[in-house]
Homo-oligomer: A and B are copies of this chain.
Amino acid sequence: MSQLLTDVVEELSKLPGIGRRTALRLAMHLLRMEPSIVAGMTRSIDRFRREIRYCRECNNLSDTDVCPICEDPKRDRSTICVVEQVADVLSIEHTQQYRGLYHVLGGVISPMQGIAPSDLKIDLLVERIRRGGVGEVILAISTSVEGETTLFYLMNRLREFPDLKITSIARGIGFGDELEYVDELTLTHALLNRRAVE
């Protein structure tokens, strides 16, 4: 069997969700791509892995020491949206509804997975708020057990700022959700927090 093929299948199988069969399919696709396109792809992967860093302000991925969002003078510096991971920043930016800053925790507290508060960028957040100028912190954390634990922990940590407004993104039924399939907890919450139709 071809060693080059064996090697590339083994290497691609190191990626999450890619078994040997998918890796083989990917390898066959690489053969149909222009060599220059493949070279561009691998160059981009190498550069990303070598040069990407974390913003020292908000812990978001960045090409520079401080990320473009933190440096943007047009963003509202008095609001910080706290999220679990980089992908969440992308999702929120995609809505084009948020003009404040972010803070990426880098995960949620999970005793099961051995993730303690000290493993997350919580101290960095507290330091940012201590420097002043922050009026509101929006907690945009998932509603998992770990998420709720993290939310609770953050609320406690942020008690040292009595004037800070702490909010959480709204929980409820998503657009397009069918009531029949919504879980009980979400439905209960949505009922108790019903709003007047304007």
Contacts and interface: CB of A to CB of B under 8 A. Distances in A.
A90 B1 contact: yes
Interface string A7-49: 1101110111100001011111111010101111111111111
A131 interface: no
A33 B35 CA distance: 25
A186 interface: no
A51 interface: yes
Contacts of A45: 8, 11-12, 30, 38, 41-42
A116 to B, nearest CB: 18
Interface stretch (A61-69, A146-154, A167-175): A61-69
A87 interface: yes
A5 interface: yes
A156 interface: no
A135 B71 CA distance: 74
Nearest to A87: B24
B87 A44 contact: no
A49 B31 contact: yes
Contact of A27 (B12, B22, B48): B48
A48 B4 contact: yes
Contact of A4 (B22, B24, B51): B51
A142 interface: no
A2 interface: yes
Given A17-B22, A24-B90, A25-B16, A2 B39 contact: no
A182 interface: no
6 contacts: A2-B63, A5-B86, A16-B25, A16-B29, A28-B86, A39-B46
